[in-house]
Every structure is written in structure tokens, then in C-alpha cells.
Amino acid sequence: MAEGDQFISTLDGEEIKIFDKWSTRDVEIRDQSLKRYLSLKPVLVPHTKGRHAKKRFAKSRVSVVERLANNLMRPGRNAGKKMLALNIVKRAFEIIELKTGKNPIQVLVWAIENASPREETTRVVYGGILYHVSVDVSPQRRVDLALRFISEGARACSMNNPKTIEECLADEIVAAAYGDANSYAIRKKEEIERVALAAR
């Protein structure tokens, strides 16, 4: 939750849960730098209808579950189908809960923390010469990249595969949360950090 934000977490005396199933009350963010950029705002249906789109940095106040669904709507088969993306996330969360026995939102937060690169490269042109320089990654970009890698990994896994996108997304989130080397998101993060280390 962003600092200073106060959310009403009850509706008619009952706690608001994401998809009316999972509470965000006990979800812990271990990485202090990401705390302001991972919104755990309790909402029944994570669908803001793009209210944040024209305000700078407003996406950090959008629920992290909705941001994952938005990343699943990349151009292609799922482009623009928000309810389909939300249903994919919901079913993936159910699979995660069955596999791990833990709150799937907590597992997603761990996956984002583990899959977000801390260092990357930027191009610098100086006197007609182009070279790459290692730079630190801002916390908001770290969250963006982690969500992108998780959704790309799920999409790549489900292509030409009998496994459904929900199963692939659940597998990717669990693998990233526990730092599994087979996770697409972890591999991408390590590749970016390896290139950045060489460019120091």
C-alpha cells in the first residue's frame, strides 16, 4: 500500500477480498523499495477502467492483480479482453492456492520481488560513439518488468502446448516466487543483470 493511503477495507461490515476470495490484509512486502509501487488495495473486482491512464505515475495506485491482468492483454489473441484476462488470473490464483496452500496474492508479491531486475543498461552516445552503461532500475520500472516477464513466460509456455494459460501462469508465478531457475521471469532478470554487470 502506498504511504498515506487509507483504504476502506469493509463493505457492509464484511472485509473486502479480491475476487471475493483472497484477503490482502496479511500480505507482506519484504522489499522496502517496492512497497510504494505494489498496491494491495482491497477491491472486489480489480477493474479501474483506465482511470489512471492519463495521470503520471498513477499506475502505482492500481491493484497489482489488475496490473497482472492488464499485462495478459498484450496484442494478439487476448487484446482488449479484460474480463477474459481477469478470469485467467482468478483461475490461476485458485491453482496456486491448491499447489502451495498459501494466499496467491502473497505468492504473486514474492514472484514480483524475485523477478524484478535491480540493474540494467542504457545506451549513451558520446562523440558519435555508442556504448552501453549500467544503471540502477527505478522501483516502478522493476515492478513493470517483473509483471511483463511473468505474463510473457505464461504466454510462451501455453503456445503449442496442451497446458492452459491458467496452468502456465500459475506455474510461472510459483516458480518465480520460489526463485526456481526454470522460471522464464527469473531467467530474463538474470540475463539483464548479467549484461549490466559486464557494462559497468
- pLDDT computed for residue 51 by the predictor: 84
Give the fold, CATH level 3, of 10-198.
Ribosomal Protein S7 (1.10.455)
Confidence check: pLDDT of 137 > 90: yes
- The model's pLDDT over 158-187, given as tens digits with 9 standing for 90+, comes to 988 899 999 999 999 999 999 999 999 999
Q: How open is the CA angle 20-72-60, to the nearest 5 degrees?
A: 70
As a three-state string, the secondary structure of 59-79 is HHHCEHHHHHHHHHCCCCCCC
- pLDDT computed for residue 186 by the predictor: 96
Share of the chain above pLDDT 70, in %: 94
> What average pLDDT score do residues 131-136 get?
92
- pLDDT computed for residue 12 by the predictor: 65
- pLDDT computed for residue 48 by the predictor: 86
If one counts every other C-beta atom within 10 angstroms of the C-beta of residue 75, the result is 7
Q: Is 11 helix (H, G, I), strand (E, B) or coil?
A: strand
Confidence check: pLDDT of 78 > 50: yes
- Where are the chain's structural domains? 10-198
Mean pLDDT of the chain: 89
User: For residue 69, is it left (φ>0), alpha (ψ between -120 and 50) or beta?
Assistant: alpha
Tell me how far apart the alpha carbons of residues 50 and 110 are, in angstroms, rounded to a whole number: 26
- The model's pLDDT over 18-71, given as tens digits with 9 standing for 90+, comes to 888 889 888 999 999 999 999 998 888 888 888 888 888 888 899 999 999 999
Whole-model pTM above 0.85?
yes
Confidence check: pLDDT of 15 > 80: yes
